[in-house]
Chain A
Amino acid sequence: MPDAITELNGDIRNKLVAGGTNINDLLKYFITKADKLVDINPIKDFNSIFRLENGGVRLGALHTNADTAYDPIIEECYPLLSKAILAGASAQIRNMATNGGNLLQRTRCYYFYDINTPCNKRDPGSGCSAINGYNRIHAILGQSESCIAVFPSDMCVALAALDAVVNIDGPEGERTLPFADFHRIPGDTPHIDNNLTYGEIISGIDIPKKGFEKNYSYLKLRDRSSYSFALVSVATALDIEDSTIKEARIALGGVAHKPWRVIEAEDFLKEKQPSRENFAIAADIILEGAKGYKHNSFKIELAKRAIIRNCIMALNPETQRPGAKPSL
């Protein structure tokens, strides 16, 4: 167990800082408070990328987003991850932000950021201002009456699609969590973003061998071309043999409290032709049960169309544009 955890002293008023790009922002807005910050950057074990024996790769928690995106292994074997990372934030922020921190970033809900409005995520029990407020950027899947905030990461959408595993270290020892189980849906405890318990630390993220480097695409739709959060984003990874889909992965960002995957849709695509019609059926399956609000109902249709487009883009990954803008 790293010394950093010991330094936290089991006191919830103490916090860890790595890249600092989110926590320093939150501290300055007085959204997060900390009596003590423990800088974990000196943990050298967490700052690397290396091949695993099983053919997969481990992303050190303290490796920066930029170094990860531009790492030759990632660019070559996991281009979907590279593209998703490069669609997030800005070059400067990617140079600072770490992989572990990316998983732990907090929502960008307007009301979460305004300490003078009710927000169950920031101030449990105070109510949700977004549900009857301006909710253009909010969730359509997996939300609750307590919280309709979305998780803002791009990188995690790709990690979800790639079936990553989160390595966790802590006072009780090491453990792993499949990516799908790492982030939570809000339920009636939206103040808890993920299943990390206090005192635990992400040491790295493992990605299995299969990188879908032949057919992949990341698409991000937003209110300006770059340096803004997704209204809807899609990571698609396809394994195609003889014009037949052998395996499909589709994850959505910007629509839920966590990267959103629906296994039924991926199963449906198995052994099917990679056609617009089949992608459209998969999109319908993924968006089944989606619920919009006054200002974000458009996201349901937009997400369906984005899925279809991105699956088609994945057939020709070289058509992808900087900033994960739509192409073709």
Chain B
Amino acid sequence: MTKSEVIGKPISRLEGPLKVTGQARYAGEYEASDLLYGYVVNSTVTKGKIAVIDTTDAKMLDGVVEIFTHENRPSTAWFDIQYADMDAPPGTVFKPLKDNEIKFNGQPIALVVAETFEMARYAATKIKLAYIEEEFETDVESNLHKARDPKKGLASMLKPPPPKPKGDFEEAYRNSHVQSSGEFKHGTEHHNPMEMFASTVIYEGSKKLKIYDKTQGTINSQLYVANVFGLKMKNVQVISPFVGGAFGSGLRPQYQLFMAVMASLALKRNVRVTLDRAQMFTFGHRPPTIQYTKFGADENGKVNALYHKAVAETSQFEDYVEMVVNWSNMLYPAENTLFESKLVPLDVYSPLDMRAPGGSTGMHAIEITMDELAYKLNIDPLEFRLINYSDIDKSSEKEYSSKELRECYLRGAEKFGWSKRNPEPASMKRGNKLVGFGMATGIWDANRLFARVEAKISIDGKATLKSAVTDIGTGTLTVMSQIASDELGMDLEDITFSYADSAMPFAPIQGGSFTTATVGTAVQTACIALKKKIVKKAASLKDSFVSNAPFEDIIFRNGFLISKQSPEYKISIKEILEKLSLEEIKTTNMAMPNPLTQGKKAKAVHSAVFVEVEVDEELGVIEVKRALTSVAAGKIINPKTAESQILGGMIWGISKALHEETITDHRFGKYINPNLAEYHIPVHADINDLSVIFVEEQDEFVNDLGIKGVGEIGIVGMPPAIANAVYHATGKRINDLPIHFDKLL
């Protein structure tokens, strides 16, 4: 990198003008000629078989074109083969309309295709259905006896099983100076991005489709469609430039994509299928999880024993797992540990990664147990974290590539005013309100995968980069443009980052906080390769100063190649191209982590979270008055969009702690609040004074740009910090989420 001009600057989102004027188009908004609308019909029973599905009356309705069910759906080879998408857990991928078997409530069982959306929706109510119902189980708590080890599969690579036991936990715990234990219950949560899932399929002739899909991975959707429908990859183009939120829900191709493609191919028409809000509760969720902790510490406050067990729900057909119990020993270097992770398969759809999967669940239990231990030791909770600070990930015995968590604690505490806290619970008051300060630690992986990027410079002096990666609101477009701008020494305005098209070079699904590190590094790699190619071309010119200069001695600035030693020597890229009669110079490169060295160190982002709550003494009403997160996440490319990522995560944390839950009525085996009126996410009135501090880390080990990722870390520490603040305010430990205010009455 020559010189940092825009990296580190709070650049406003480049797509901002499109988003504030309504010009940004999302998957269900593309116009197409003679477009047909599909409406999905969902099972109203939880388990059993469809005995009768009679579409006669519905088909007679004016404007209904076709109704697809398991009885008449087109046959594809897929129904008989194994196929897994990029984020599929071990097991068998659910195949809509495969047969008459019902595996979960809300299972898609038919697609009505009509000339208008309203007619499709209405006709769906006219389908006559009869089921043979079977007994079902949907409650983790009443099925704990079925808990078993998860099956292993590809997903285990990014989600390793719990670390092996160390030392002798039982003995160490028994002999600990102080002990703390807890049971923690988390319910089901749904991603509920504001945009509902939609696919618009443009039929471009036999076996050729252009698809606007709501996804976190254009190539993931492309692979899925090509495989499932037996199409050639090059004949399936998936485009998703704007994604109205996803938070993990777009990591797997969802059933509206299958339905829309099926209908389009069968009817040879353009088809759109958009799910409704209730259907947004039928395809993946954060699994209900029950956790148990037992931590012990010695008289000096050193944690010496850690036990953490999680029992989570999965479906009957896939073993979805999260890393819930792997975190405590990554933070606190106890010598005696025991971790367990179990699954209970139930008659539900498979859970699905949702913002900080596992981490936001596990850290809640860990950080409340730590808070409790601090009280028992009579040590300030922050001081207690510092006593147990480690630069080594004890669970793997590896040194961290960088870890500025201590600085996060100290700067966060200073800015928050942690020292004003009276340690005594229920000791601080403001009128009728009890005031509580709580803190917690956050941690998340700093992963990186591989990606390819095409970089091109044209005779007009503009550079274009291409990647199939999406921008789900994370700021990817802006951040990638910034990286390219600095690497090529060109103004941002001269950079075009083209993205979100499966026809472009490979990028993995966008998730896990690994996109900026993965694609950003690929952008950098491609830009360097492009510069080398330009230098090589320039060197072939007669009388060029470039021919004698090593690559390192040439600076790229504002479209010129300049000699480092003698800046008076320079040549514009335009001139090079003209002299060589070239329209453009182009390169495509892959960047991947070095498998030989990457495993040598532990890599993580960290946060320290401080929260002030007010709890109405008489009524229990909880308000998060202030929250501050200080984050150490390597190099921050764009402080504005990165801060928004953290703030968004913090608000997710407030929501997880106090608001959101999908309520299951286990008598029916179904969710009873599948709407945004009763599935509460915070409103503006719930969000008060939030702030973010970035403690920058210089980390040349994680990748050449020093990027770690900020998508998840914002949420992880918030729920326990809030719960700890509620405890400090009231003296009441509420371990189940969300914390309903009536629990404090």
Beyond A134-B672, A325-B621, whether A302 also contacts B683 by CB under 8 A is no
Chain B residues positioned under 8 Å from A306 (CB to CB):
619
Chain A residues positioned under 8 Å from B659 (CB to CB):
223-224
Residue-wise interface mask of B (416-437) relative to A, using a CB-CB cutoff of 8 A (1 in contact, 0 not): 0000000000000001100000
Q: Is the CB of A224 within 8 A of B618?
A: no
Q: Is the CB of B432 within 8 A of A328?
A: yes
Q: Which of B403-411, B596-604, B661-669 contacts A (4 or more CB under 8 A)?
A: B661-669
Q: Is the CB of B619 within 8 A of A108?
A: no
Q: Is the CB of A326 within 8 A of B745?
A: no
Q: Which of A117, A223, A323 contacts B668 (CB 8 A)?
A: A117
* Chain A residue, CB-CB nearest to B661: A223
Taken together as a complex, chains A and B put the C-alpha atoms of A113 and B663 apart, in Å, by 14
Taken together as a complex, chains A and B put the C-alpha atoms of A225 and B741 apart, in Å, by 12
Interface flag for B616 (CB, 8 Å): yes
* Shortest distance from the beta carbon of A288 to any chain B beta carbon, whole Å: 19
Interface flag for B21 (CB, 8 Å): no
Q: Is the CB of B745 within 8 A of A301?
A: yes
* Shortest distance from the beta carbon of B159 to any chain A beta carbon, whole Å: 32
Q: Which of A30, A225, A228, A323 contacts B677 (CB 8 A)?
A: A228
Chain A residues positioned under 8 Å from B125 (CB to CB):
30
Chain A residues positioned under 8 Å from B77 (CB to CB):
none
Q: Which of B432, B619, B621, B672 contacts A114 (CB 8 A)?
A: B672
Q: Is the CB of B740 within 8 A of A223?
A: yes
Chain B residues positioned under 8 Å from A227 (CB to CB):
683, 685
Taken together as a complex, chains A and B put the C-alpha atoms of A110 and B618 apart, in Å, by 29
* Residue among A132, A136, A224, A229 facing the most chain B CB atoms (10 A cut-off): A224
Q: Is the CB of B432 within 8 A of A326?
A: yes
Residue-wise interface mask of B (655-695) relative to A, using a CB-CB cutoff of 8 A (1 in contact, 0 not): 00011000101011010110101101011111000000000
* Chain A residue, CB-CB nearest to B659: A224
Interface residues of B in 589-627 (CB under 8 A from A): 616, 618-621, 623
Residue-wise interface mask of A (287-309) relative to B, using a CB-CB cutoff of 8 A (1 in contact, 0 not): 00000000000110110011011
Chain A residues positioned under 8 Å from B668 (CB to CB):
117, 129
Interface residues of A in 166-198 (CB under 8 A from B): none
Taken together as a complex, chains A and B put the C-alpha atoms of A176 and B277 apart, in Å, by 41
Q: Is the CB of A326 within 8 A of B621?
A: yes
Beyond A298-B745, A326-B432, whether A110 also contacts B672 by CB under 8 A is yes
Interface residues of B in 152-170 (CB under 8 A from A): none
Q: Is the CB of B663 within 8 A of A110?
A: yes
Q: Is the CB of A328 within 8 A of B431?
A: yes
Taken together as a complex, chains A and B put the C-alpha atoms of A84 and B227 apart, in Å, by 57
Residue-wise interface mask of A (121-136) relative to B, using a CB-CB cutoff of 8 A (1 in contact, 0 not): 0000000010011101
Q: Is the CB of B686 within 8 A of A224?
A: yes
Interface flag for A221 (CB, 8 Å): yes
Taken together as a complex, chains A and B put the C-alpha atoms of A323 and B673 apart, in Å, by 23
Chain A residues positioned under 8 Å from B665 (CB to CB):
110, 117, 129, 133-134
Q: Is the CB of B742 within 8 A of A298?
A: yes
* Chain B residue, CB-CB nearest to A296: B742
Taken together as a complex, chains A and B put the C-alpha atoms of A113 and B673 apart, in Å, by 9
* Chain A residue, CB-CB nearest to B105: A116
Chain A residues positioned under 8 Å from B682 (CB to CB):
224-225
Taken together as a complex, chains A and B put the C-alpha atoms of A326 and B432 apart, in Å, by 9
Interface flag for B316 (CB, 8 Å): no
* Shortest distance from the beta carbon of A135 to any chain B beta carbon, whole Å: 10
* Chain A residue, CB-CB nearest to B663: A134
Q: Is the CB of B683 within 8 A of A326?
A: no
Interface flag for A72 (CB, 8 Å): no
Q: Is the CB of B619 within 8 A of A326?
A: yes
Residue-wise interface mask of A (210-249) relative to B, using a CB-CB cutoff of 8 A (1 in contact, 0 not): 0000000000010111111101000000000000000000
Interface residues of A in 94-111 (CB under 8 A from B): 108, 110-111
Chain A residues positioned under 8 Å from B686 (CB to CB):
224-226
Taken together as a complex, chains A and B put the C-alpha atoms of A269 and B517 apart, in Å, by 68
Please tell me the size bucket of the interface on A.
Answer: 35 or more
Chain A residues positioned under 8 Å from B623 (CB to CB):
225, 325
* Shortest distance from the beta carbon of B61 to any chain A beta carbon, whole Å: 15
* Shortest distance from the beta carbon of A122 to any chain B beta carbon, whole Å: 14
* Shortest distance from the beta carbon of A272 to any chain B beta carbon, whole Å: 21
Taken together as a complex, chains A and B put the C-alpha atoms of A137 and B663 apart, in Å, by 12
Interface residues of B in 19-58 (CB under 8 A from A): 44
* Chain A residue, CB-CB nearest to B686: A225
Interface flag for A2 (CB, 8 Å): no
Taken together as a complex, chains A and B put the C-alpha atoms of A116 and B45 apart, in Å, by 9
Q: Is the CB of A116 within 8 A of B44?
A: yes
Taken together as a complex, chains A and B put the C-alpha atoms of A224 and B665 apart, in Å, by 22
Chain B residues positioned under 8 Å from A301 (CB to CB):
745
Taken together as a complex, chains A and B put the C-alpha atoms of A75 and B456 apart, in Å, by 65
Q: Is the CB of B619 within 8 A of A110?
A: no
Q: Is the CB of A221 within 8 A of B685?
A: no
Taken together as a complex, chains A and B put the C-alpha atoms of A133 and B620 apart, in Å, by 25
Chain B residues positioned under 8 Å from A226 (CB to CB):
683-686
Chain B residues positioned under 8 Å from A298 (CB to CB):
742, 745
Beyond A129-B665, A134-B672, A323-B685, whether A224 also contacts B742 by CB under 8 A is no
Q: Is the CB of B680 within 8 A of A224?
A: yes
Q: Is the CB of A302 within 8 A of B742?
A: yes
Chain A residues positioned under 8 Å from B44 (CB to CB):
116
Q: Is the CB of B742 within 8 A of A305?
A: no
* Chain B residue, CB-CB nearest to A111: B672
Interface flag for A322 (CB, 8 Å): yes
Taken together as a complex, chains A and B put the C-alpha atoms of A308 and B672 apart, in Å, by 33
Q: Is the CB of A113 within 8 A of B621?
A: no
Chain B residues positioned under 8 Å from A299 (CB to CB):
742
* Shortest distance from the beta carbon of B50 to any chain A beta carbon, whole Å: 15
* Chain B residue, CB-CB nearest to A118: B668
* Shortest distance from the beta carbon of A219 to any chain B beta carbon, whole Å: 9
Chain A residues positioned under 8 Å from B672 (CB to CB):
110-111, 114, 117, 133-134
Taken together as a complex, chains A and B put the C-alpha atoms of A325 and B621 apart, in Å, by 9
* Shortest distance from the beta carbon of B614 to any chain A beta carbon, whole Å: 10
Q: Is the CB of B673 within 8 A of A221?
A: no
Chain A residues positioned under 8 Å from B432 (CB to CB):
309, 326, 328
* Shortest distance from the beta carbon of A279 to any chain B beta carbon, whole Å: 12
Q: Is the CB of A305 within 8 A of B618?
A: yes
Q: Is the CB of A225 within 8 A of B683?
A: yes
Chain B residues positioned under 8 Å from A116 (CB to CB):
44
* Chain B residue, CB-CB nearest to A325: B621
Taken together as a complex, chains A and B put the C-alpha atoms of A258 and B685 apart, in Å, by 28
Taken together as a complex, chains A and B put the C-alpha atoms of A299 and B741 apart, in Å, by 11
* Chain B residue, CB-CB nearest to A226: B685
Q: Which of A225, A302, A308 contacts B745 (CB 8 A)?
A: A302
* Shortest distance from the beta carbon of A254 to any chain B beta carbon, whole Å: 13
* Shortest distance from the beta carbon of B696 to any chain A beta carbon, whole Å: 35
Taken together as a complex, chains A and B put the C-alpha atoms of A226 and B681 apart, in Å, by 11
Chain A residues positioned under 8 Å from B431 (CB to CB):
328
Taken together as a complex, chains A and B put the C-alpha atoms of A134 and B620 apart, in Å, by 21
Taken together as a complex, chains A and B put the C-alpha atoms of A30 and B665 apart, in Å, by 21
Taken together as a complex, chains A and B put the C-alpha atoms of A305 and B621 apart, in Å, by 12
Q: Is the CB of A224 within 8 A of B683?
A: yes
Taken together as a complex, chains A and B put the C-alpha atoms of A325 and B614 apart, in Å, by 13
Q: Which of A30, A225, A228, A305 contacts B619 (CB 8 A)?
A: A305
Chain A residues positioned under 8 Å from B670 (CB to CB):
114
Q: Is the CB of A110 within 8 A of B673?
A: yes
Taken together as a complex, chains A and B put the C-alpha atoms of A110 and B44 apart, in Å, by 15
Give the top 9 A-B pairs by smallest Cβ distance, nearest first.
A225-B685, A298-B742, A226-B685, A116-B44, A110-B672, A225-B686, A226-B683, A224-B680, A227-B683
Could you list some 20 contacts between A and B, CB below 8 A? Answer: A108-B677, A110-B663, A110-B665, A110-B672, A116-B44, A129-B668, A133-B665, A134-B665, A137-B678, A223-B741, A224-B658, A224-B686, A225-B685, A226-B685, A227-B683, A231-B742, A298-B742, A302-B620, A305-B619, A325-B685
- List 8 additional contacts besides A108-B678, A223-B741, A226-B686; criterion CB under 8 Å: A111-B672, A116-B44, A221-B621, A223-B740, A224-B680, A227-B683, A228-B683, A229-B677
**Chain A residues with a Cβ under 8 A of chain B:** 30, 108, 110-111, 113-114, 116-117, 129, 132-134, 136-137, 221, 223-229, 231, 298-299, 301-302, 305-306, 308-309, 322-323, 325-326, 328
